[in-house]
Amino acid sequence: MKIYSNGVVANEDVSLDLKKGEIHALLGENGAGKSTLMKVLFGIESPDQGKILLKGQETAIKSPQDAIAKGIGMVHQHFMLVPSLSVAENIILGVAPVKGIFIDKKRAVQEARDIAEKYNFHIDVTARVEEIPVGVKQKVEILKALYRGAEILILDEPTAVLTPQETGELFVQLKKLKENGHTVIFISHKLDEIKEICDRATIMRNGRSMGTYQVAGMSTDEMSRLMVGREVVLKFEKKPAERRQTLMQVRDLTVHNSQGVLKVDHLSFDVKGGEILGIAGVEGNGQSELVEVMTGLNQNYQGTVRVANTDIRKKSIKEIRNRSLAHIPEDRMKSGCAGTLNILENLFSNQYERKEFSGRMFLKSREMQKKAKEWIAQYRVKCSSYKQKVGMLSGGNIQKVIVAREFSTNPSIIIANQPTRGIDVGASELIRRRLLEFRDAGCAVILISADLNEVLSLSDRLAVMYKGQFAGIFTDAEQVAEDLLGQYMLGIKKDEKLEGAIYESCETL
């Protein structure tokens, strides 16, 4: 049992048993208490009741150091790396080979390389963490735990930030770890992954455990029913798109990152009202840089970007937002919200100037409270009230607050970067439906997602981004086979003369 100081009962009478050499899934909706249970096992939170037995012995896990000493490693839902340090330094941090009082950098690099090689992770250990994409950060976190000799490895949504290829690589590694007698606790909202890799699954609902099941004997439908307590529709019908006027126009866009590396390479495309343009691709192929320009976060680019007929060069983020552009950012902890502010403040952080909410002298707080309550209910944000600090919500619920805020601004253009990352099956369904509703109402939607099922089922046109260009564009996304898409994503296939196709494909449809 775990009750947080604000009275939230996050774990109630939970039982979980792990066998040596198994991959054990922990399943449950956002806020069900999965991360809390793992924090108890890793010594971050202390339980209010109950006991932990390790190899048959009752034990108390007093701190993360204590957990590590007992052979438990944890990769958290949100990154815990030091951005200004190198990959190697992060991996060995705390257990570093020292030379006098300094970290022995040369040996650190060598040891980090050795461990990366041993587990077959292809990463540059000399790169600084702040400069690497999220997918690589995740790998660094896993290596860090392995370096500390973890026998039991807790992975809290490790694949949420990985591409299908990276997930595949990770699974090969996890299977090897399992064969070597390691035990893995695997948290994920992607039920297919659980089917693929896990032996048993424990399901949590509202802080309680709903039982442990053999994964082999269970369908994904059954899993979601046990988690949510009702039937979840995992497939939905969609009408053909009705394209309207161009709302987003990108011409000859070229972007270099801060190290001068070319990230977006003479890219041109249009997005019309009433359509969803999906962008698939392996992380790091320019998607983030493209979004940064379209949303005004980066002013340093060549080419032109027009949002609702206005050239956005030298326009501030606020001015662009005022052109009815909504943005669900990729990294919700960094740029999505303010953890120390409460839910209501976060919900309105970008709309204090809207007429409905600002009175002559002060904000109409009644109106705002009413709306906040409505949105919390609509997006099923699990919280005690709108006064709760966002930093104390579960990972998926933080994302829901951001989505609620962005969707409530009455947008005509939505840039959704990994909108359902870390979101449970029920709420993902809701968000996808909303994206389609916005499309049907004439909104231009740009959907960037590492979830291939998501881009394939939602996109009216689907572009695959590779090395800063579109390698392929599909106008019949639902018909595209995943492995064909994979070939474009990895640069094995590339269509020539796409420049024309990306305009024409929307003109002729």
Q: Which residue has the tokens 């997930």?
A: 167
Beta strands in 302-377 (DSSP E): 302-307, 310-311, 325-328
Stretch that binds ligand ATP, among 131-139, 286-294, 387-395, 457-465 (CB under 6 A): 387-395
* In the complex, least distance from residue 15 CB atom to Mg ion, rounded to whole angstroms: 19
Residue 61 vs 456, nearer CB to ligand ATP: 61
Distance of CA 330 to the CA centre of its chain: 7
- Distance between CA atoms of 429 and 323, rounded to whole angstroms? 28
Residue 182 vs 332, nearer CB to ligand ATP: 332
Q: Confirm or reject binding of residue 505 to ligand ATP (CB under 6 A).
A: no
- Distance between CA atoms of 361 and 8, rounded to whole angstroms? 36
Copy the structure tokens of residue 379. 């997006």
* In the complex, least distance from residue 67 CB atom to ligand ATP, rounded to whole angstroms: 17
* In the complex, least distance from residue 153 CB atom to Mg ion, rounded to whole angstroms: 16
For helices 164-179 and 134-147, angle between their N-to-C axes, nearest 10 degrees: 10
Give me Rg for the CA atoms of the chain: 23
Q: Confirm or reject binding of residue 32 to ligand ATP (CB under 6 A).
A: yes
Rounding to the nearest 10 degrees, give the CA dihedral for residues 362, 367, 372, 375: -140
Q: Confirm or reject binding of residue 420 to ligand ATP (CB under 6 A).
A: no
Q: Which does 171 bind (CB under 5 to 8 A by kind): Mg ion, ligand ATP, none?
A: none
Q: Confirm or reject binding of residue 295 to Mg ion (CB under 5 A).
A: no
Outline where 379-451 has alpha helix (H): 395-407, 425-440
Q: Confirm or reject binding of residue 35 to ligand ATP (CB under 6 A).
A: yes
- The correct pick among 249, 346, 397, 449 for binding ligand ATP (CB under 6 A) is 397
Helix (H, G, I), strand (E, B) or coil at 235: coil
Residue 211 vs 359, nearer CB to ligand ATP: 211
* In the complex, least distance from residue 50 CB atom to ligand ATP, rounded to whole angstroms: 15
Q: Confirm or reject binding of residue 8 to ligand ATP (CB under 6 A).
A: yes
Q: Which does 296 bind (CB under 5 to 8 A by kind): ligand ATP, Mg ion, none?
A: none
For 278-292, b/e burial (b = at least 16 CB within 10 A) is: bbbbbbbbbbbbbbb
- The correct pick among 138, 394, 412, 418 for binding ligand ATP (CB under 6 A) is 394
What is the DSSP secondary-structure string of 134-148? HHHHHHHHHHHHHHT
Q: Confirm or reject binding of residue 395 to Mg ion (CB under 5 A).
A: yes
Number of helical (H) and strand (E) elements in the chain, helices listed first: 17, 22
The count of residues interacting with ligand ATP (CB under 6 A) is 20
Interior angle at CA 435, CA 431 and CA 441, nearest 5: 140
* In the complex, least distance from residue 38 CB atom to Mg ion, rounded to whole angstroms: 8
* In the complex, least distance from residue 33 CB atom to Mg ion, rounded to whole angstroms: 8
Q: Which does 419 bind (CB under 5 to 8 A by kind): ligand ATP, Mg ion, none?
A: none
- The correct pick among 396, 426, 468, 472 for binding ligand ATP (CB under 6 A) is 396
* In the complex, least distance from residue 220 CB atom to ligand ATP, rounded to whole angstroms: 17
- Dihedral sign for Cα atoms in the order 50, 56, 57, 63: negative
Q: Which does 73 bind (CB under 5 to 8 A by kind): Mg ion, ligand ATP, none?
A: none
Copy the structure tokens of residue 455. 């881009």
Pairing assessment for the beta strands 413-417 and 444-448 based on DSSP bridges: parallel
- The correct pick among 393, 446, 464, 473 for binding ligand ATP (CB under 6 A) is 393
Q: Which does 287 bind (CB under 5 to 8 A by kind): ligand ATP, Mg ion, none?
A: none
Q: Which does 4 bind (CB under 5 to 8 A by kind): ligand ATP, Mg ion, none?
A: ligand ATP
Q: Confirm or reject binding of residue 392 to ligand ATP (CB under 6 A).
A: yes
Q: Which residues pair with 446 in a beta bridge?
A: 277, 415
Residue 37 vs 485, nearer CB to ligand ATP: 37
Site for ligand ATP in 64-93 (CB under 6 A): 77
Cβ contacts of 363 within 8 Å, gap of 6 or more: 348, 352, 357
- Distance between CA atoms of 283 and 466, rounded to whole angstroms? 9
- The correct pick among 10, 32, 33, 35 for binding Mg ion (CB under 5 A) is 35
* In the complex, least distance from residue 500 CB atom to ligand ATP, rounded to whole angstroms: 44
Outline where 98-254 has alpha helix (H): 105-118, 134-147, 164-179, 191-197, 220-228
Residues 352-391, one symbol each (x = binds Mg ion by CB under 5 A, - = not), give ----------------------------------------
**Half-sphere exposure of 290 toward its Cβ, with a 13 Å CA cutoff?**
32
- The correct pick among 23, 27, 30, 203 for binding ligand ATP (CB under 6 A) is 30
- The closest residue (CB) to ligand ATP is 396
Outline where 19-104 has alpha helix (H): 34-41, 64-69, 87-92
What is the DSSP secondary-structure string of 440-489? HTT-EEEEE-S-HHHHHHH-SEEEEEETTEEEEEES-GGG--HHHHHHHH
**What are the residues binding Mg ion (CB under 5 A)?**
35, 77, 394-395
**What are the residues binding ligand ATP (CB under 6 A)?**
4, 6, 8, 10, 28, 30-36, 77, 382, 392-397
